[in-house]
Structure 1
Amino acid sequence: MLDIAAELNEWIAEGRDFAVATVVAVGGSAPRPPGAAMAVDADGTALGSVSGGCVEGAVYELCQSSLESGETVVERFGYSDEDAFAVGLTCGGEIDILVMPVRAADPVRQVLVSALTAAVSQEAAALARLVEGPAELLGGALLVRPDGSYDGTVGGHPDLDTTLAAESRAVLDAGRTATVEIGADGSRCGQPVTALVEASVPPPRMLVFGAIDFAGALVRIGRFLGYRVTVCDARPVFATRARFPEADEVVVQWPHEYLESTEVDARTVLCVLTHDAKFDVPLLKLALRLPVAYVGAMGSRRTHLDRNRRLREEGVTDLELARLRSPIGLDLGARTPEEVAVSIAGEIVATRRGGTGVPLLGAHTPIHHEGSGRLGRIGDVA
């Protein structure tokens, strides 16, 4: 539900009651990922989407029913010849949907308000809600912070709350949305439970080194993909706010020195566009040893071979070099800065999501790589 946090915050500020449906798990070719949400208020106004249109009508009715009854429910929608026409899930997948009422008198409302506020403010927090377990425990929620502290409860079981908070903190550290399973001993409620944990984290970083014309297009597509984008170059005449107005940050500094001093994490992507050895070699020597998601470097194949030779001379190992995406991007035949930016962005998405980069036409690979076939029991859906 955190994907529609801004809109839900407005509804709460207006005092609206509503029910929110959240995708818990997906299997097969489901169109929306876990965490995708749709909400319906007491007047019948709807926002968001859980299926790209396939089952919206059925979920809309579930939200209305949940809001009226005050009950939290989990419903599965799957493909078959019989139900395909009933709910429209003709893509061949399955989705589990958690539907929760959020009314002014509900104790859980304040926990959800805090979670939505954190998401809008891009603060780190995790929202945990049970999706399997004793019926009396459904409808509660925990808001878990990076330090492990939390607000709220799932059914008034302190031991379960403590265990779930610890599990949720691990999910938050990974910056992902996932389900976690807690055995009967850990749940302290006599049977296993499963919880959906939605992580609200600051946007991932994209560091673009080299204030060249291609960088401007890459900044724009990086912002479109949800990255916080920094452009860095040692040349003050090129690294200016006027040339990169859409960047979150423009830094005039030697690239390797900036990389040494700034914070990166496992979601950070580095795009080296300088293709100049005096910048590239010290920068890549450091970058390839950092726990980042992606390191790509621009240049011809000849430049790539020369760069690798120089990096080996600096002590970079073959294992470290294997992390380098160079020449950067996918083979799209790109020429313009915008086309090159699409090529680079495509490779970043493929790396992040486990895609192959080959055309789907004629391929036998999954269309959606994450969460496929994981609905026997609701498992990790990140």
Structure 2
Amino acid sequence: MTSPETMNWHAALHRLQLEARPHALASVVGAAGSTPREPGAKMVITADEIYDTLGGGTFEFQVIDAAREALATGKTDTRLEAFPLGGRSGQCCGGYVHVLIEVFAGAEMNVALFGAGHVGQALAGLMAPLPWRVLWFDSREDAFPAESDSQPRLSCRRIDQGPDGPDLRGSVASLPAGSHVLVMTHDHGEDRQLIDALLTRGDCASIGLIGSKSKWASFQRRLRDAGHDQSSLDRVRCPIGISGAKGKRPYEIAIAAVAELLTLKSTGNQDDHRGVPPEKLRDVFADTSAKRSSS
């Protein structure tokens, strides 16, 4: 666990936002009586790290537990937690604190890109500013551009070489569940093996294969022989790219492919009522004001 003194909350928040890693921001928004910290104090919590402090003690551990419970749901939401320090938190200062916990789920989507050729490099550049986590694979040495290391949400992974060639199935097995996958290697044999492994795995959010309709027709014959039925094959998009897009330049293909991914991006379970309900906020601040008046 990272010590709260290692990095302050705003530096941690900036880094985690850049890396699109799941995290929660806990802010003291109301206090009455004697409390460890004043309103405006903040800390950042991830599944295994904490940054900054709300004053320590049982109260802070309860905030961390509440934040991690919220992070475990995978949803981006906002919740308001009440901590009576003499009751719920068992601290001797006896005050009352309200903490707003804002959850940031990290990357909006995970994209696995197989192939670092001209189209792959154009795609990686286009996806870099987006809040997506990109896993970029290639079996060749020195396939990735040197500047790739400077992109915080991009992870370049050389495919391990096994006794029978690149360990494509191992790379597919390493993907997070629900990934959107684009296959565009330098070798049609690798492309076909990847599609086979992805369909066998069966839990990808989407699978796109670069190439023509004739390429896909040829692949389908081999994939049926490998045991994949038509409903499975229908999950693969080939050619890739948003409908109606024209152009065969690498950058044009990449733009069409990213636009298509945007149409596939999940919007989650959006509700008309987001954040903390207004009536709860009214009750909270009325309660806090009453406690201040009586102290």
TM-score range, shorter chain: 0.5 to 0.7
Q: Deviations over 1:65-121 (max 9, x none)?
A: xxxxxxxxxxxxxxxxxxxxxxxxxxxxxxxxxxxxxxxxxx99x752462364378
Instruction: Give the 5 Å matches for 1:51-200.
Output: 111-113=8-10, 115-116=12-13, 118-119=15-16, 122=19, 124=21, 126-129=23-26, 136=32, 139-147=40-48, 152-153=53-54, 157=59, 160-170=62-72, 174=74, 177-180=76-79, 188=88, 195-199=101-105
TM-score for the superposition, normalised by structure 1: 0.49
Cα distance between partner residues in 2 of 1:338 and 1:232: 19
Identify if the C-alpha distance between structure 1 residues 169 and 301 changes in structure 2 by more than 3 Å, giving closer, same or farther.
same
| CA contact 1:220–1:246 (8 Å) conserved in 2 | no
| CA contact 1:180–1:194 (8 Å) conserved in 2 | yes
| CA contact 2:114–2:183 (8 Å) conserved in 1 | yes
TM-score for the superposition, normalised by structure 2: 0.60
| Matching residue of 1:272 | 183
Pick from 260, 265, 270 the counterpart of residue 170 of structure 2: 260
| CA contact 1:210–1:273 (8 Å) conserved in 2 | yes
Larger RCO (CA within 8 A; separation ≥ 6)? 2
Cα distance between partner residues in 2 of 1:328 and 1:310: 20
Matched, 1:345 2:258: yes
Cα distance between partner residues in 1 of 2:124 and 2:135: 6
| Matching residue of 2:283 | none
| Matching residue of 2:158 | 251
The structure with the larger Rg is 2
Give the secondary structure class of the aligned counterpart of 2:47.
coil
Q: Deviations over 1:323-344 (max 9, x none)?
A: 4333212121232211110010
Pick from 295, 305, 317 the counterpart of residue 217 of structure 2: 305
* CA RMSD after TM alignment: 4.7
Identify if the C-alpha distance between structure 1 residues 125 and 214 changes in structure 2 by more than 3 Å, giving closer, same or farther.
closer
Equivalent AA in structure 2 for residue 223 of structure 1: A
Cα distance between partner residues in 2 of 1:131 and 1:293: 38
Q: Deviations over 1:280-323 (max 9, x none)?
A: 22211222326444421112223223323322322335554454
Equivalent AA in structure 1 for residue 192 of structure 2: V
Q: How many residues of Structure 1 are paired with residues of Structure 2 in the alignment?
A: 247
Give the secondary structure class of the aligned counterpart of 2:53.
strand
Identify if the C-alpha distance between structure 1 residues 246 and 305 changes in structure 2 by more than 3 Å, giving closer, same or farther.
farther
After alignment, is 135-144 or 277-286 more displaced? 135-144
Cα distance between partner residues in 2 of 1:217 and 1:150: 36
| Matching residue of 1:220 | 125
Give the secondary structure class of the aligned counterpart of 1:196.
strand
Identify if the C-alpha distance between structure 1 residues 214 and 200 changes in structure 2 by more than 3 Å, giving closer, same or farther.
closer
Instruction: Give the 5 Å matches for 1:294-373.
Output: 294-318=206-230, 320-331=232-243, 332-354=245-267, 371=270, 373=272
Identify if the C-alpha distance between structure 1 residues 223 and 138 changes in structure 2 by more than 3 Å, giving closer, same or farther.
same
Q: Deviations over 1:217-247 (max 9, x none)?
A: 223213343654635145x6xx645xx4554
Cα distance between partner residues in 1 of 2:241 and 2:210: 8
Instruction: Give the 5 Å matches for 1:221-240.
Output: 221-225=126-130, 227-228=133-134, 230-233=136-139, 240=143
1:131 Cα deviation from its structure 2 partner? 8.6
| CA contact 1:271–1:296 (8 Å) conserved in 2 | yes
Cα distance between partner residues in 2 of 1:111 and 1:324: 45
Identify if the C-alpha distance between structure 1 residues 118 and 264 changes in structure 2 by more than 3 Å, giving closer, same or farther.
same
Identify if the C-alpha distance between structure 1 residues 308 and 194 changes in structure 2 by more than 3 Å, giving closer, same or farther.
farther
Identify if the C-alpha distance between structure 1 residues 215 and 116 changes in structure 2 by more than 3 Å, giving closer, same or farther.
closer
